[in-house]
Structure 1
Amino acid sequence: MLSKLATLILGILSEHERNPYEITKMLEYLQTKKWLPLADSTVYATINNLKKRGLINGRIEKTGNLPEKTIYNITPEGEFELQESITAFLSEDNYQTTNFDIGILLMHNLSKNEILIKLKKKLERLESTAFDIRKQIFGFERETGKIAFSSLAMLKHRLHINEAEIKTIKELIKELNIRMEVSELSPFDMRMVGN
C-alpha cells in the first residue's frame, strides 16, 4: 500500500497529466496541510520516488522562453497501485492513536489548571477550523455539479472528526471543572479492571 501522499499524487495524475507545481497547488487548494502535514519538498520527493518505482512517467516540456518543466502522467502500474491503495484505505479499520489520545492518557502529569488552559486553546482552534470547513461545505453545496461528490464527502468526514474532538474536549473541561484533582490512579492500571 502506498503512503497517503503518494496515493493523493497518483489520484491527481490519474485525472490529467501535470507538473509538480500544479500538483502542489492542487494539494494546497484541498487544504491537505490541515489533515496531512507535508512540505512542498516532500511532494517533490514523493514524485521522484513514484518515478523511480515506475508508477509515473515524466516528459520535459518547454514553452517559449519559459524554463523547462517536467510533466508527469500515471503508468498502468501506477493505476494498479492507486486502485490497491484506495481499496485498502476504504476497507481498513485504521484507528491510529493520535497525539491527542496520548495527551489525554497522560494528562494527569500536568496540573488541572494547565490542562484546562491547553484544552480551551485547542477548543478555540478546533471550533475555528470547524467553522472554516462548514463554510467550505456550504459554498460547495450551493454550487452543485461543480465539485466532486467524493471531495464533499471527504470534507464532511473531516468535519465529523473535528466535531468529535470538540465534543471530547467539552466533556473533559466539564469533568475537570467538577473534579478537585485530575486523578491519583495510573492510566496504565486499566489492565487490572475486570480481572
Structure 2
Amino acid sequence: MDRHLLLLGLLRHQEMHGYKINDFIDQQMDFCVNLKRSTAYYILDKLCSDGYVRLETEREGNRPERHVYHITPEGEARFQALLRENLANYRPPVFAEDVGTIFQQQLPRAELAELLQNRRTQIVAHQKRLEVLRTKLPPNHHAVIEHHLLHIAAELTWVDRMLVTVEEHHE
C-alpha cells in the first residue's frame, strides 16, 4: 500500500500526467522507492477504477493527447488513512544480502574478503550519493535521507566487522 500512498500523495500535491509522476519519482525518490513505470501506470489505473483518482485527457496545441490524473475526495480520504497506517506501523527491513551471508563459508577467505570489500565500496558510493541529494532535494526529503544514512552507517559497521572476522580467520 505504500505505492498507493506515494501516488496519491503526489497527486494530492498537484495533478500530473503519468510521465511527470514517473519522472518525479526517478529524479527525487529512486533512493527510497522501487517503482517501475509499468507498475506505476498499473496502480494509477487501479486507483482510477477504485474511484480514488480521476483521469482526464488534455491536449495542448498540436501536441498529442495526454492523460492527467487528479485525486478525488475519496482519494484524499484514502491518502489520509494510508498515511496514518504507514507512519504508525513498523515493518522490519529485509536484507537480501543476508542469504549470501548464511553461505559465506562456502567461499575461500580471500575471495570472501574481496567480495565484502566490493560491497563496502558500493555502500560508500551510495552514501555519498545520498549526501549530495540531501543538498539538492527539498526539506521534506531530509528526514527520509537521514533515515537511509543511519541505515547505511549501520551497514558499514556490520561490513567492517565482517571484514575483520574474515581477516582474523585468514591469518
TM-score by length of 1: 0.80
What CA distance in whole angstroms lies between the structure 1 residues aligned with 2:164 and 2:133? 30
Q: Which residue of 2 is the match for residue 23 of structure 1?
A: 21
Offset, 1:66: 0.5
Offset, 1:177: 0.7
Offset, 1:136: 2.1
Aligned match for 1:10, one of 8, 17, 23: 8
Give the superposed CA RMSD. 1.9
Change (3 A) 1:180 1:116: closer
- 122-131 or 105-114: bigger deviation: 105-114
- The CA deviation string for residues 60-90 of structure 1, in whole angstroms up to 9 with x for no partner, is 1111101111111111222222222222221
Q: Which runs of 5+ in 2 are unaligned?
A: none
**Percent of residue pairs identical:** 22
- The CA deviation string for residues 162-188 of structure 1, in whole angstroms up to 9 with x for no partner, is 22211111111111111249xxxxxxx
SS at match of 2:103: helix
What CA distance in whole angstroms lies between the structure 2 residues aligned with 1:109 and 1:35? 32
- The alignment status of 1:157 with 2:147, answered yes or no, reads yes
How many residues end up aligned between the 2 structures? 171
What CA distance in whole angstroms lies between the structure 2 residues aligned with 1:37 and 1:13? 18
Offset, 1:120: 1.1
Contact 2:110 2:170 in 1 (8 A): no
Change (3 A) 1:103 1:63: same
Offset, 1:21: 0.7
Contact 2:134 2:141 in 1 (8 A): no
Quick one: which amino acid aligns to residue 102 of structure 1?
V
Aligned match for 1:124, one of 108, 121, 145: 121
What CA distance in whole angstroms lies between the structure 1 residues aligned with 2:99 and 2:87? 25
What CA distance in whole angstroms lies between the structure 1 residues aligned with 2:32 and 2:110? 29
Q: Which residue of 2 is the match for residue 90 of structure 1?
A: 87
Q: How does 1:1-195 map to 2 (within 5 A)?
A: 2=1, 4-32=2-30, 34-139=31-136, 147-148=138-139, 150-180=140-170
Quick one: which amino acid aligns to residue 101 of structure 1?
D
- The CA deviation string for residues 33-63 of structure 1, in whole angstroms up to 9 with x for no partner, is x333332222211211211121111111111
Quick one: which amino acid aligns to residue 29 of structure 1?
Q
Offset, 1:104: 2.3
Regions of 4+ moved over 4 Å: none
